[in-house]
Chains A and B, each alone.
Chain A
């Protein structure tokens, strides 16, 4: 199985900050990398698919990049509603494993 490792596991930031979350795959997954946002008590929500494609309706302050084994999610200017947990997921091969999550908290 492909292992997905996110860093950091948690992060404190302020409104207006630029935030970068990284995700590393244990082997090359081309660009088959997705990012999800989950708020407490809610189902996850798709933000980015295929490493860099923005899901419809997602604000443009979210962006993704990378290919192969190393990927990043960037939030250009944090908004209050962005404090949540973020997960990467590979869809290159089954099982479609998730990273362990990055909890983004208010500083």
Chain B
């Protein structure tokens, strides 16, 4: 059974940093691209970033480019996102998501974690 478990969310001040983790199990982690998708309270889904199965390629939405860094440790089956210079508009539930193939290109998201809430407020 595929499982994705996010952690690391919480309250952070504007300008601060936070690192989210996503521990996975039930599939060969290195064989699949992964993504982060967020959802602001009461709003729709926003694709944030993606990373290839090897970790060699990363992709970002313009809204987070230069502030967020997505990485993975295939030996630990874990996905990360380092979030710096956080803003109020980054407040959202952050979902870890498994892609259907090793490359992010043309891949759908076939499994989602339950999400972790990040609140940016003073």
Q: Which residues of A contact B (CB under 8 A)?
A: 1, 32, 34, 36, 38, 42-46, 49-50, 55, 87, 89, 91-92, 94-101
Q: Which residues of B contact A (CB under 8 A)?
A: 35, 37, 44-47, 50, 59-62, 95, 100, 104-110, 112-115
B72 CB, nearest partner CB in chain A, Å: 17
- Cα–Cα distance between A50 and B108 once the two chains are bound (Å): 8
Instruction: Name A48's closest neighbour in chain B (CB-CB).
Output: B108
Instruction: Give the chain A neighbours of B44 by CB distance below 8 A.
Output: 87, 98-101
- Cα–Cα distance between A100 and B40 once the two chains are bound (Å): 12
> A-B pairs with CB below 8 Å: how many?
61
Instruction: Give the chain B neighbours of A94 by CB distance below 8 A.
Output: 50, 59, 104-105
Complex partner residue of B106 from A36, A42, A91, A97, CB under 8 angstroms: A91
Instruction: Give the chain B neighbours of A1 by CB distance below 8 A.
Output: 61-62
Tell whether, in the assembled complex, residue B45 and residue A98 are in contact, meaning their CB atoms are under 8 Å apart. Answer: yes
Tell whether, in the assembled complex, residue B108 and residue A95 are in contact, meaning their CB atoms are under 8 Å apart. Answer: no
Instruction: Give the chain A neighbours of B62 by CB distance below 8 A.
Output: 1, 95
Tell whether, in the assembled complex, residue A91 and residue B107 are in contact, meaning their CB atoms are under 8 Å apart. Answer: yes
A3 CB, nearest partner CB in chain B, Å: 13
Tell whether, in the assembled complex, residue A89 and residue B112 are in contact, meaning their CB atoms are under 8 Å apart. Answer: no
Known: A43-B113, A45-B112. A95 touches B59 (CB 8 A): yes
Complex partner residue of B60 from A46, A55, A89, A95, CB under 8 angstroms: A95
